[in-house]
Amino acid sequence: MLLEWIYDLTYALLKPFKRFLKPDSFAEKAMISIEKVGKGVVFDCQMCGQCILHSTGMVCSMNCPKNLRNGPCGGVRLNGHCEVKPEQACVWVKIYEGSIASPKYGGEIMWLQPPVNRTLQDTSSWVNLLHGIDQKMKTVWQTQEDKDALEPLFRGSNEKE
């Protein structure tokens, strides 16, 4: 998927500038503006500061009225629309479709996403990613082995018995 490629490219471009892109720096302020406008237009970004777009089919999960980051609730309507906003398609229905269309990162939809760190609201996701701030927790949420064990379940469950 093109967006996956853009994600990889952005990461590769920003990584060398990690020591300039520090939290609370002028560079972060600039990044915040860029993310607000760029991701705002493309993804209706809510600036949670801990972006998981590539793990959610390149659809922003924070647009779910319940802020769900691990999958759809049980209230999805039969036409695939939202329980809370009937006129809008369920964000997680779009995420599921987006993940199927994402060959590289699609399986990450199976990861257990930790609770949102609300102190990162309106900070730069890219800065937080480069410095590991977005994943920082005092407890082990999910090991890489557990993630690796879950991922294959995403694509291989529909065969006949």
Partner 1 sequence: MKKNKSSMSQLEEVLISGRFAITSELNPPDSADAEDVNRAAMILAGFCDGINAVDASGANCHMSSMSICALLTRVGYEPVYQISCRDRNRIAIQGDILGAAAMGVRNLLCITGDDVSAGDQPGAKPVFDFDSIQLLRTARMMRDERVFLSGRKITSELPLFLGAAANPFVPPYDWRPKRLAKKIAAGAQFIQTQYCFDIPRFKEYMRQVRNMGLHEQVYILVGVGPLRSYGAANFMRTKVPGITIPDEIMDRLKKTPKERQQEEGKNICIEILQQVREIEGVAGVHIMAYRQEELVAEIVQEAGLLPRIAQQPF
> Which residue in the set 48, 91, 110, 130 belongs to the binding site for partner 1 (CB under 8 A)?
110
User: What's the rounded Cα separation, in Å, for the pair 79 and 42?
Assistant: 24
Residue 151 binding partner 1, by CB under 8 A: no
Beta strands in 7-100 (DSSP E): none
- Local structure of 34: helix, strand or coil: helix
- Using rule CB under 8 A, residue 88 touches partner 1: no
From the list 25, 67, 88, 121, which residue makes contact with partner 1 (rule: CB under 8 A)?
67
Shortest distance, position 152 Cβ to partner 1, whole Å: 10
Q: Hey, how many other C-beta atoms are within 10 angstroms of the C-beta on 16? A: 9
Q: Does 153 bind partner 1 (CB under 8 A)?
A: yes
Q: Among residues 139 and 144, whose Cβ is nearest to partner 1?
A: 139
Q: Which residues pair with 81 in a beta bridge?
A: 89
Among 7, 96, 105, 126, binds partner 1 (CB under 8 A): 96
Among 1, 40, 114, 131, binds partner 1 (CB under 8 A): 114
By C-beta, is 53 or 90 nearer to partner 1?
A: 90
Cα 63 to chain centroid, rounded: 11
Burial of 152 (0-12, 13-18, 19+ CB in 10 A): exposed
